Structure 1
């Protein structure tokens, strides 16, 4: 007799928003590691006698490794899945922070913080947000990208006052140990929440080979170099100066480090609003023009900063933090949208390489800032130089051509009430 019982439905791999929430937790945790180096400049100089340039070298290596690992991590997610890569990244950042508590020589800071933490944070950075958005969402991709990018901002800035307080009350080693414990606590939650959409067999192409082949194809096109150039300036004018040198620069003017960290946290709060708003605008406006406006305004704020820094927090300095916060990470959604428009299914890997340029720019200015402070006793030339770079990036953004055969702005969905999860078939590699 034929069995008429219904077949069990296959278990769904997850819902888009559950996956996005798990990804956000991983991004928040990794983001907390990104700005601790700025708080460590003074303590490592005073406690261990290291020069600011040697600490800056560790930050340079961290940012370069962060950027270099991003495209390979994006390609590896196609082979191993997002969950395994995200979990491995949390293990790396936790190990790096834990080992950092035992440091006695500058080379150890380069290895533990520069290499291990750089690898981990690079794997679950904006390229991770781009991959989650590409695989799980069809409509409102700009908005979702903005939300996940804002998660990184939360990790980078909201925890700064707490970490600064831990350093003042206990030691820099206690702050590093707290981050290691945070990574360990986030690991099981991320493992449970992050999934890949149900699809066919995983790509058999080696992740490193795919990342390099994608780079070779993209490097033959003009838009890639324009996007990489503008994003390098983005890194130089954010991670390179603000996230690494704002706290010590404010301290040079007599401001307590805890107060400077609170200002960075205020930047982070407005970062969330600015990034989400930028994602919303990216779904509706020309991303090239958005980038030009963002870079031009950011350059003006940086040029004004040397005139605003004092020992006390006043209205002009608060206004700077608000404006800079709205602009700080707003460049990410339009840059991802332009990568998607020009490079299609390869966009996450291409954006990984564009992010590598971001970190090269950030690392170069982080090192140059420490060197300038040691040589001239002031960070003022760095602020002015970063502002000039932003003006150049605004002009570069306007020269970026529209992609032929594709709209820069994603079209609105035909049926808004349908599920926003991607179809079951995986995106094809181009």
Structure 2
């Protein structure tokens, strides 16, 4: 079923980008579902907020930890095969969710299985696709694929929140299962591993040769890559700033904003709509970030992204205590750079470590991102349980982002300089 790439006016890489976008979109949408279920699970099962947050925290951590190893698995077994396996495992996990009766079962299905399955379809997948299929427009492609996470929330959260409120959380899970199964079929039919599979060169290149087969160990090679990267100052600056990135995005806002709105009398569907509204602006902001990354100093882009995000988070408690219009203002400014940090971070990693190792090194950077997100997911729930408010956590996250902005400027200029090879 391989398409005739030689006669098509559209490079098949864009088809691969579209399929990957859909996979990342669905994966991100499913990873965001626990934020909708937090209050229903408290009512239905009597679980505490900190316990539910702990499950989400483990899922977020594994979602990131699998990244470096997923880069090796994608190189070893191919993109299409690993995507099909991951989607099948995810569908199985979702199908069993309505049968759970205890918190440990939620931990198993959403903390462990779902975390690992969705981790295979995360940012590392997008970077791998961009590096294999594109020489030109690589930053734009990374921006588009990164933005799919926001689009996943845009499409899923309001719909799933509506289903949860009107029909129950189990029906929201059934809807997600149906979407995953449809996507599995699409991936199996249209996804390709490399331009050579369709007799084409990467977009912007003239060489259509097949890639060298992966010869390293699936488990040892990522660890050796980490050992080498840890000797590099740029790696640590990227890793620590991405820790702060995860702390201030999916770990905090993505997990707790709906619950925080509930504390202020804002209905769940409306709160989910706020996240979806952020998704609209992040879709624009992150795609533009990819375009900017192809043209401007990535260090300065990160400075502005983290700085504006920090100011937005410091403003959030005030927005929650005033009128809904202030929450809309927060959603616009916060949404524009929710994950706009990814394209410049990928660019800096590629320039510093080379295209061949970029996916794996970036996978380890994402691990730090998810450790930060995991810390916020559990910590914010615990602080809320102890103090009755999220305000302290929001403001703390804001100042952490301002620190990340300053750290971004300390990345060596040699890594920030635009290079043709990247």
Q: Which residue, 334, 337, 355 being the options, matches 2:344? A: 334
Does the 8 Å contact 1:139/1:412 carry over to 2? no
Q: How many angstroms apart in 2 are the aligned matches of 1:402 and 1:249?
A: 40
Q: How many angstroms apart in 2 are the aligned matches of 1:287 and 1:106?
A: 43
Q: How many angstroms apart in 2 are the aligned matches of 1:410 and 1:279?
A: 16
CA deviation after TM superposition for structure 1 residue 147, in Å? 0.8
Q: Which residue of 2 aligns with 1:155?
A: 152
Q: Does residue 1:35 correspond to 2:32, yes or no?
A: yes
Q: Does residue 1:102 correspond to 2:99, yes or no?
A: yes
Q: How many angstroms apart in 1 are the aligned matches of 2:318 and 2:138?
A: 39
Q: Which residue, 368, 372, 391 being the options, matches 1:357? A: 368
Q: How many angstroms apart in 1 are the aligned matches of 2:321 and 2:274?
A: 13
Q: Which residue of 1 aligns with 2:334?
A: 324
Q: Which residue of 1 aligns with 2:199?
A: none
**Superposition misfits of 4+ residues, deviation over 4 angstroms:** 9-14
Q: Which residue, 254, 267, 274 being the options, matches 1:243? A: 254
Does the 8 Å contact 2:153/2:275 carry over to 1? no
Does the 8 Å contact 1:30/1:121 carry over to 2? yes
Q: How many angstroms apart in 1 are the aligned matches of 2:401 and 2:165?
A: 34
Going from structure 1 to structure 2, the CA distance change for 1:12 and 1:207 (only over 3 Å counts) comes to farther
CA deviation after TM superposition for structure 1 residue 102, in Å? 1.2
Q: How many angstroms apart in 2 are the aligned matches of 1:180 and 1:310?
A: 37
Task: Find the residue that maps to 1:335 and give its secondary structure.
Answer: helix
Does the 8 Å contact 1:67/1:122 carry over to 2? yes
Q: Which residue of 2 aligns with 1:135?
A: 132
Q: Does residue 1:123 correspond to 2:120, yes or no?
A: yes
CA deviation after TM superposition for structure 1 residue 262, in Å? 0.5
Q: How many angstroms apart in 1 are the aligned matches of 2:358 and 2:86?
A: 21
Moved more, 97-106 or 244-253: 97-106
Q: Does residue 1:394 correspond to 2:405, yes or no?
A: yes
Q: Which residue of 2 aligns with 1:425?
A: none
Task: Find the residue that maps to 1:280 and give its secondary structure.
Answer: helix
Determine which structure has more spread, i.e. the larger CA radius of gyration.
1
Q: Does residue 1:52 correspond to 2:49, yes or no?
A: yes
Does the 8 Å contact 2:49/2:382 carry over to 1? yes
Task: Find the residue that maps to 2:324 and give its secondary structure.
Answer: coil
Q: How many angstroms apart in 1 are the aligned matches of 2:366 and 2:93?
A: 22
Going from structure 1 to structure 2, the CA distance change for 1:18 and 1:410 (only over 3 Å counts) comes to farther
Going from structure 1 to structure 2, the CA distance change for 1:397 and 1:379 (only over 3 Å counts) comes to same
CA deviation after TM superposition for structure 1 residue 410, in Å? 4.4
Q: How many angstroms apart in 2 are the aligned matches of 1:238 and 1:385?
A: 13
Q: Identify unmatched segments of 5+ residues in structure 2.
A: 197-209
Q: How many angstroms apart in 1 are the aligned matches of 2:82 and 2:3?
A: 24
Q: Which residue of 1 aligns with 2:189?
A: 192
Q: CA RMSD in A?
A: 1.8
Q: How many angstroms apart in 2 are the aligned matches of 1:403 and 1:91?
A: 43
Going from structure 1 to structure 2, the CA distance change for 1:391 and 1:200 (only over 3 Å counts) comes to closer
Going from structure 1 to structure 2, the CA distance change for 1:410 and 1:99 (only over 3 Å counts) comes to farther
Q: Which residue of 1 aligns with 2:171?
A: 174
1:83-98 map, 5 Å:
83-98=80-95
Task: Find the residue that maps to 1:203 and give its secondary structure.
Answer: coil
Q: Which residue, 103, 109, 112 being the options, matches 2:109? A: 112
CA deviation after TM superposition for structure 1 residue 201, in Å? 5.6
Does the 8 Å contact 1:95/1:116 carry over to 2? no
Q: Which residue of 2 aligns with 1:208?
A: 219
Q: How many angstroms apart in 2 are the aligned matches of 1:29 and 1:190?
A: 12
Q: How many angstroms apart in 1 are the aligned matches of 2:257 and 2:310?
A: 16
Q: Which residue of 1 aligns with 2:290?
A: 279
Q: How many angstroms apart in 1 are the aligned matches of 2:70 and 2:12?
A: 23
Q: Identify unmatched segments of 5+ residues in structure 1.
A: 1-8, 414-430
Going from structure 1 to structure 2, the CA distance change for 1:279 and 1:117 (only over 3 Å counts) comes to same
Q: Which residue, 76, 79, 88 being the options, matches 1:79? A: 76
Does the 8 Å contact 1:52/1:374 carry over to 2? yes
Q: How many angstroms apart in 2 are the aligned matches of 1:87 and 1:220?
A: 36
CA displacement 1:168-194 (0-9 Å, x = unmatched)? 011112112211221111001012222
Q: How many angstroms apart in 1 are the aligned matches of 2:214 and 2:19?
A: 23
CA deviation after TM superposition for structure 1 residue 10, in Å? 11
Going from structure 1 to structure 2, the CA distance change for 1:402 and 1:239 (only over 3 Å counts) comes to same
Task: Find the residue that maps to 1:309 and give its secondary structure.
Answer: helix
CA displacement 1:227-246 (0-9 Å, x = unmatched)? 01000111000011110000
CA deviation after TM superposition for structure 1 residue 402, in Å? 2.5
**TM-score, normalising length: structure 1:** 0.90
Going from structure 1 to structure 2, the CA distance change for 1:93 and 1:384 (only over 3 Å counts) comes to same
Going from structure 1 to structure 2, the CA distance change for 1:229 and 1:200 (only over 3 Å counts) comes to closer
